[in-house]
Chains A and B, each alone.
Chain A
Amino acid sequence: MIYGAQVHAQIPLEREIESVAENIESEEGDLVQIAENLEIRREQKININTADRMTLAEFPFLNAFQINNILQYIKKNGPLLAPYELMAIKAMDLETAKQLSEFIYFGSGSPKKIPWKKMFKYGRHNTLTRWQRVLNEQEGYKRRRVYESTGESQGTHYLGDPNRFFARHRFTFSRHIQMGLTLEKDPGEPWQNPIGFDFLSGHIAIMDVGHLKRLVVGDFQAQFGQGLALWSSMAFSKSAMTLNSQRFSRGVYGYTGADENRFFRGTAATIQWGKTTVSGFYSNKGFDASIPSNDPEVRNGLQWSGLHRTPTELANKNSLTIQTIGGNIQRDFGDFHLGITAVDHQLASPIVPPDQLYRQNQFRGSHSQNLSMDYQWVLRGMQFFGEVAKNERGAWAQTHGVYVEVDQQLIFNLHHRNFSPQYDALFMAPFGESHGKGNGERGTYLGFEWRPFSKWVTHAYADHYQFQWLRFQAGAPTKGVDYLWQTEYIHDKNTSVYFRLRWQNRDINGENEQIIRPLANESRGSARLHFSHQLDRWVFASRLEMSRRNYLEESQNGWLIFQDLRYHFLRVPLVLTMRYALFDTDGYAARIYAYEHDVLYAFSIPAYFSTGRRMYLLLKWKTGKKIDLWLRYANTHHHGTHTMGSGLNTIEGNNFHEIKVQCRLKF
């Protein structure tokens, strides 16, 4: 059943996205590119027998071991002929094999070539438009209304209206040409000349033409190595996918995401001769940066929210131009792979971080350079990988890991990272605790995947880390631990249940009553039980989760229980998804994140806190072969409160309503 397969293809990705949100404490990440790539692959399946490492890295449900084993298997045994043969690959499980089957075909040679002059006939257009809005009047808009009607200022306010508009057009021709255009205006942002939208992004990409692997003009991403020197996009960190500590870089590729800062703008190209791949790029782009009031010639630091709603945020928009030149050389030596990456950033204005002790080691100046070497080595049942990097200050960072396959049922992942406190890169995303920043982190991670019996799988990890310098909310070098255990029972393709335990302990600032603020211990724990079942056209999912946070002899507890229901109508092409959740936490510190189904290419991972109820309805209507429509309504109720939110997002009352409408046109 197609819809059944689609449901199960999303579940591990949903869990990984949930883990990302929990780690970065963000309610909406730019995971659009990940979802869009999967959608493209679903429509334009790849030939598994000719796919390279970079292509397989687009599938977030494949771990490093599986990617390497697929390539090794085909190299040694010849082309794969049918889906069942995927199970002959080491470390491949049934669920992953089924997911992968959705995106691949088992071809014996190159796909049929379509003449270039028929590009516009056989090319595919995909246009997506979305409108969303919070139906309550938030404080920022209330102040704006008062200011515009009376001239009375009540402090900073939002300059624009509360509507959010998003539009994207993508054109693809075979696997060789891709063009993209993205427009976005966030809630509160004013309409701006000349095009109106606050954010505009576009690119043209040519791929796999002779030796030219990729040529991108416009906006692009650059990912190399293990993320120490250059990784411009978001990357998954610790999660229940415990064998994903290795980064699989995709090199340079066209950007179609919604993050307004994490990308480059210019030209990028990748050329391949045999087993050698060379990439180079140039970028000249404005980034958001905070401007100190006492010295407008410098910048305090880069800003990543992409929001330009208030006069201050608008003034910071694109206020720092960065010219970036970079390159990468990679060579495949059979079981050994080596890469070298170099990047140079020239800033139009120097960055001078605020004068706080924990920022002492942060980048400052107008010139940033990073050089790194990364490797991968497959040796019998083990895979070694790592990267060593150095910046313009001579500080070093390194990350090394190994996968060990003990047998078909047990795989270990050991990973060690050591970043000098003086090491950083403007665009980095190494695996670790600090979510894309160096911060002088040092740590050792041990994870494993264990399949003791058929239908049972356990994932677990233990991560011990320390920060060698101060951090935000930590006035001294600190240490911490992070443990996770998840056991899942997959009864069949329709039914599964998993239980997860997580416990984290770290040092942060204690009470601010002494001259030297002491460190205090903070621990967080959570337990989750999740059950899902598909019955004909119905899909049920139930979850129970509890959380606990201890700090300064005070405990906060939290509970979340929800029931999801999805129905695929028979006579009309409608899919209805709904959730009803009750939550009860002692405070924000005990909040619980839970992934929610959303319109295509939108991700909703709200934090449930306080006491209340949340529900949403999502309706998808496939009106024909070319048009899909979505409608989503969400409501959050906080019990016993008179306001919700904080700052300029505060609303009066205790019911929060949000609506989204989206239309996709394919032709």
Chain B
Amino acid sequence: MKRHYFLFTLVVCSFSCVCQIGAKGRAMGSNTIGLTDAFSALNNPAASTNVQRNVLITDWENRYMVNKLSQSTVGGIFKVNNDRLGFSLYHTGFSAFSSSDFRLFYAKKISSKFSVATRLNLHHTFIPEQNNNIISISPDIFLHYEVNEKLNFGVNAGNLIPIHSESPSQQLIIGLAYYFSDKLTFTSDCIKIMDAPFSAGIGLEWSIKESLFLRTGLRNQPQINSFGIGYKKESFACDFSFSYIPIIGMSPGLSLSYVW
């Protein structure tokens, strides 16, 4: 049974770079690289330069309804003049396996419509049965630019230059966010991880009212169908997500954010 969980975790962690995106992003099929919101600390730190206030976030997901596979994340974005400094701390695991990431980023506004961010990731994986304690470091580069008031693009070159063999796989994510109006947002990301199949998806967010959001998304590799709702009140926001991967099952998630 423990090996079962271990295999599941390995499968999931191979996608972990993308899964650490918050409930809103998961509800939109993990198509978030072009978005600008409180969860840019996780999705695209370059976009955080457009977030005008400091942010604290926390995220939790109960993957496949298996408690031992749950993951949790905390993070924040802090204003430094026109630039941003931020972090995120991620953890998942149980007695036979645990994985943690600490990520620190710096985002700089190059022009009114273009921002760049660099992020340093510290990964730690521990498998007691094999007495395996793996620590690796990887750098990421993010870009975010506005084509016009409706269309934004985001790019992530993950683990741009592998520092050592235990580093995560290199990846390239290119995506967009198109704002049809204040109420309707369309997103789409293309993801290529070096040793994984090509993945593409689309996401949609609809603002029913000023503070209530409905979201849905699709992705092909792995095949994910997702939906969720969000509620925003003044400085607080709360998001729920439900992601379904065929055969493996449903994963509910919850995110909270606070801005000041």
Q: Which residues of A contact B (CB under 8 A)?
A: 495, 531, 533, 535-536, 538, 540, 542, 544, 546, 559, 561-563, 565, 580-582, 584, 611-613, 639-640
Report if A535-B111 is in contact (Cβ < 8 Å); known contacts: A540-B145, A561-B174, A561-B190.
yes
Interface pair B153/A582, CB less than 8 Å apart:
no
A580 to B192, CA, bound (A): 12
Complex A-B: 6 CB contacts under 8 Å: A535-B146, A559-B198, A561-B172, A561-B174, A584-B194, A639-B195
Interface pair A540/B153, CB less than 8 Å apart:
yes
A651 to B110, CA, bound (A): 40
Report if A559-B174 is in contact (Cβ < 8 Å); known contacts: A533-B147, A535-B114, A536-B111.
no
Interface pair B195/A535, CB less than 8 Å apart:
no
A196 to B35, CA, bound (A): 58
A540 to B111, CA, bound (A): 14
Within residues 104 to 160 of chain B, which ones have a CB less than 8 A from any CB in chain A? Answer: 110-111, 113-114, 143, 145-147, 153, 155, 157, 160
Interface pair A584/B111, CB less than 8 Å apart:
no
A97 to B113, CA, bound (A): 29
Interface pair B174/A544, CB less than 8 Å apart:
yes
Least CB distance, A564 to chain B, in whole angstroms: 10
Quick one: which of B114, B145, B147, B198 contacts A584, CB cutoff 8 A?
B198
Quick one: which of B110, B157, B170 contacts A563, CB cutoff 8 A?
B157
Interface pair B194/A611, CB less than 8 Å apart:
yes
A612 to B147, CA, bound (A): 30
Report if A544-B155 is in contact (Cβ < 8 Å); known contacts: A535-B114, A580-B172.
no
Interface pair A544/B147, CB less than 8 Å apart:
no
B52 interfacial contact with A, CB 8 Å: no
Quick one: which of B113, B146, B160, B198 contacts A580, CB cutoff 8 A?
B160
A581 to B192, CA, bound (A): 10
A sample of 9 more A-B contacts (CB under 8 A), given A538-B110, A544-B190, A580-B157, is A535-B113, A535-B147, A538-B145, A540-B145, A546-B198, A563-B155, A582-B194, A584-B197, A613-B170
B167 interfacial contact with A, CB 8 Å: no
Report if A542-B174 is in contact (Cβ < 8 Å); known contacts: A535-B113, A535-B114, A561-B192.
yes
Contacts of B195 in A (CB 8 A): 611, 639-640
Interface pair B172/A582, CB less than 8 Å apart:
yes
Contacts of B190 in A (CB 8 A): 544, 561
B251 interfacial contact with A, CB 8 Å: no
Most buried by B among A561, A562, A581: A561
How many residues belonging to B are interface residues under a CB distance threshold of 8 Å? 22
Q: Which residues of B contact A (CB under 8 A)?
A: 110-111, 113-114, 143, 145-147, 153, 155, 157, 160, 170-172, 174, 190, 192, 194-195, 197-198
Least CB distance, B202 to chain A, in whole angstroms: 14
Interface pair B147/A582, CB less than 8 Å apart:
no
Contacts of B111 in A (CB 8 A): 535-536, 538
Least CB distance, B97 to chain A, in whole angstroms: 25
Interface pair B198/A561, CB less than 8 Å apart:
yes
Contacts of A580 in B (CB 8 A): 157, 160, 172
Interface of chain B, helix or strand or loop or mixed? strand
Least CB distance, B170 to chain A, in whole angstroms: 6
Smallest CB gap from B141: residue in A? A580
Least CB distance, A120 to chain B, in whole angstroms: 47
Least CB distance, B152 to chain A, in whole angstroms: 11
Most buried by A among B113, B147, B160: B147
A542 to B147, CA, bound (A): 13
Interface pair A584/B174, CB less than 8 Å apart:
no
Least CB distance, B109 to chain A, in whole angstroms: 13
A279 to B8, CA, bound (A): 76
Smallest CB gap from A613: residue in B? B170
Smallest CB gap from B193: residue in A? A582
Interface pair A559/B192, CB less than 8 Å apart:
yes
Interface pair A639/B194, CB less than 8 Å apart:
yes
Most buried by B among A563, A581, A612: A563
Contacts of A562 in B (CB 8 A): 172
Least CB distance, A119 to chain B, in whole angstroms: 48
A542 to B157, CA, bound (A): 13
Least CB distance, B253 to chain A, in whole angstroms: 27
Report if A613-B194 is in contact (Cβ < 8 Å); known contacts: A536-B111, A542-B153, A561-B172.
yes
Least CB distance, B114 to chain A, in whole angstroms: 6
Smallest CB gap from A536: residue in B? B111
Contacts of B153 in A (CB 8 A): 531, 533, 540, 542
Contacts of B198 in A (CB 8 A): 546, 559, 561, 584
A584 to B190, CA, bound (A): 14
Smallest CB gap from A559: residue in B? B198
A255 to B33, CA, bound (A): 50
A523 to B110, CA, bound (A): 46
Nearest 6 A-B pairs (CB), nearest first? A559-B198, A582-B192, A582-B172, A561-B192, A542-B174, A580-B157
Least CB distance, B139 to chain A, in whole angstroms: 13
Contacts of B145 in A (CB 8 A): 533, 535, 538, 540
Least CB distance, B140 to chain A, in whole angstroms: 12
Interface pair A582/B171, CB less than 8 Å apart:
yes
Contacts of B197 in A (CB 8 A): 584
A531 to B171, CA, bound (A): 20
Quick one: which of A533, A563, A639 contacts B174, CB cutoff 8 A?
A563
Least CB distance, B117 to chain A, in whole angstroms: 14
Most buried by B among A542, A581, A612: A542
Contacts of B194 in A (CB 8 A): 582, 584, 611-613, 639
Contacts of B192 in A (CB 8 A): 559, 561, 582, 584
A92 to B217, CA, bound (A): 43
Least CB distance, B257 to chain A, in whole angstroms: 29
Contacts of B174 in A (CB 8 A): 542, 544, 561, 563
Contacts of A531 in B (CB 8 A): 153
A535 to B160, CA, bound (A): 24
Smallest CB gap from B145: residue in A? A535
Contacts of B110 in A (CB 8 A): 538
A613 to B160, CA, bound (A): 10
Smallest CB gap from B160: residue in A? A580
Smallest CB gap from A531: residue in B? B153
Most buried by A among B113, B114, B194, B195: B194
Least CB distance, A419 to chain B, in whole angstroms: 41
A582 to B192, CA, bound (A): 7
Smallest CB gap from A640: residue in B? B195
Smallest CB gap from A538: residue in B? B114
Quick one: which of B155, B160, B170, B171 contacts A542, CB cutoff 8 A?
B155
A581 to B194, CA, bound (A): 10
Least CB distance, B178 to chain A, in whole angstroms: 12
A544 to B143, CA, bound (A): 17
A57 to B157, CA, bound (A): 42
